[in-house]
A = this chain, B = another copy of it.
Amino acid sequence: MNSFKVKFLPHNKEIIVADGRILIRAAMDAGVHINASCGGEGVCGKCRVLLEEGELEGGISEKLSQEDVDNGYRLACKSKVRSDVVIRIPTESAIDTKVLAFQSTPRKTAHIRKMDFEKLKKDGLFSPPVEKIYLELSEPDTQDHLPDVTRLVSFLQLNHNEHRLVVDMKVIRKIPDIFREADFKVTVTLMRPVQEGRRTHIINIHPGDTTDRNYGIAIDIGTTTIYGQLIDLISGETISQYGEFNDQISYGEDVISRIVYAEKPGGLEKLQKVVTGSINKVINKIVTKAKIDKDYISTITLAGNTTMTQLMLNVNTKYIRRAPYVPAASIYPPIRASDLGIDLGEQVAALVYPQVSSYVGGDIVSGVMGSGMYRTDKLTLFMDIGTNAEIVIGNKEWMACAACSAGPAFEGGGIEFGMRAAKGAIEDFSIDPVSYEPMNITIGNVRPRGICGSGLIIMIATMFEMGLINNMGKFDRDIDTQRIRERNGVYEYVLAWKDDAGIDRDIVITEIDIENFIRAKGAIYSGCQTLLGEVGMSMADIEQIYLAGGFGSYVDLEKAIVIGLLPEIEHEKIIFIGNGSLMGAKMAVLTNRVRKDVVNVTRSMTNFELSETISYMDNYMAALFLPHTDMVQFPKLKARMEARIKERKRING
């Protein structure tokens, strides 16, 4: 794909963007503020910019006069970059070139790590769980009337050095007809044992040579969404993927309400059916997309939190939510997928990721495996922030983990206009340092309907940096802007006036929202601190951070440090692994090595119940500030803020 240089004046900032990038997003990427209220739908007309050089696609709107258009004015939110361009932000948008120094920093999202199958092989971590072998057997006659299965097994022993074979019942049922239909030329599918010395199962047989068709499925059973990938076991490639709501949502949004439902008569069985129904939707979608025959699928791995796992396996979840919070099991035996109601052939064994505790589940273990954290020397902080927040600290030698009672603020919960990362959610934001006008960018470039988690982080960090709120999250009562107001005794900032909004109200962020948000980030940060403290270490010892969860991909690292969610660390050392649960599930589909290692890894993960850890409450109280009471932990931020205050004083005279 082509990429182009975009230069913003008078800031004199440059950024390289991909062909077709929307101009207002390019500005945000570069850390250039442009007033924008309507999220990018093109209705507020505030993001008027002047195209000085190069070409833009679109950007002409009724919000602009013909004269403006003729002079090169465009709406930034409706323009796509199609060449190198030079863009001038008009003074009515930027107000005063003096304040350019206060502009937001460019977006710095984490480096994305993807799974590298070839590297996996190179590192000796590849030990295929499923293999196919094509065989040309001799036909029986009056001198040789070996039983069909014996003929097969003997041939494999003699010609392929395959021993300790078990032929599954379903395969035995197919063999007599397939042998004769295919003139004794067949392909067998072998399932390798995870532990050496155990037996290889022949789990399927096909007429002719089908060795080029060999697939597995990885599933992440999220409380909200179920993701699936269809994986080619030969190339290691994901050939199709799909996400679908977990239909259990109708029975409760979070795990606790699901457990409550499961305690009703027939509730557990109902939820089991519902979740497998959703899993089946995902499976059928990825299979249809890839146009493959389901009979070539040989393995499925599923990862989910403890509640999702137990519900999927039809195991009573009652004791998960009752002290002392005991899950049914850590490690589950492989189980036939069809026995769970999963719509795959009897040949498919389902491997379920193990759980550490009631609130550190298979999704986290899967993330630890998928990210490679369990193989690293470096002291690593693994964070998965979703409906719940789980953290793991450690390296290949040891690991400590905990679930943080962060609440759902990062998914918009407990925030008046909070919402999931869906169309209309403000996902990016900046503030004009002088006029305090906002720059709202929404998912889907439509009028704002609310604020999603990553937007919230940017918003609160920006307001803190710009001095709109103090380190306790309270608005500066002295700032002269109608966007900050008091309503029912609570201060709030108006992000979008009703006219610019996608709903029939002003969209605001209140001090209560900010307080809830600070509690959430404080719970996570103090959780990390507490875990480290328990092993005699501190935040300064962390060598790298793995961010898992859909959330992590959009988080502006700088901003996450500013609010005190992440410790102050070089950006290069923060690695986004995406859906860690799905990644680990995929790894286990591809190699038995992971299936084997996961047992020891799970055992080595020491779970801490933070509420029962004495130091936790102190750490938590200290973290209820932006970024923290102890600024020594954020030396660079501290320096930057002091410089900024000095600069502002200098400008303001």
Contacts from A to B (Cβ < 8 Å): 140-142, 144-150, 166-169, 172-173, 175-177, 180, 197-198, 313-316, 318-319, 323-333, 335, 339, 355, 357-358, 609, 612
Contact = CB atoms under 8 A, between A and B. Distances in A.
B147 A316 contact: no
Given A167-B329, A315-B176, A145 B335 contact: no
A461 B167 CA distance: 50
Contact of A328 (B141, B145, B147, B316): B147
Q: Which of A173, A198, A609 has the most CB of B within 10 A?
A: A173
B147 A330 contact: yes
A652 B612 CA distance: 111
Contacts of A330: 147, 149-150
A140 B316 CA distance: 17
A612 B177 CA distance: 26
A372 to B, nearest CB: 26
A615 B182 CA distance: 36
Given A167-B333, A172-B313, 4 more contacts: A142-B612, A149-B330, A150-B329, A176-B316
B327 A148 contact: yes
A264 to B, nearest CB: 15
A148 B335 CA distance: 19
A288 to B, nearest CB: 29
Closest 9 pairs (CB-CB, A-B): A149-B329, A145-B324, A147-B327, A147-B330, A176-B316, A150-B330, A140-B326, A176-B328, A142-B324
Contact of A329 (B148, B315, B612): B148
Q: Which of A150, A172, A176, A329 has the most CB of B within 10 A?
A: A329
A146 B326 contact: yes
A401 B613 CA distance: 72
B323 A142 contact: yes
Nearest to A164: B195
9 contacts: A140-B326, A147-B328, A147-B330, A148-B328, A149-B330, A167-B333, A168-B333, A172-B315, A176-B318
A148 B333 contact: no
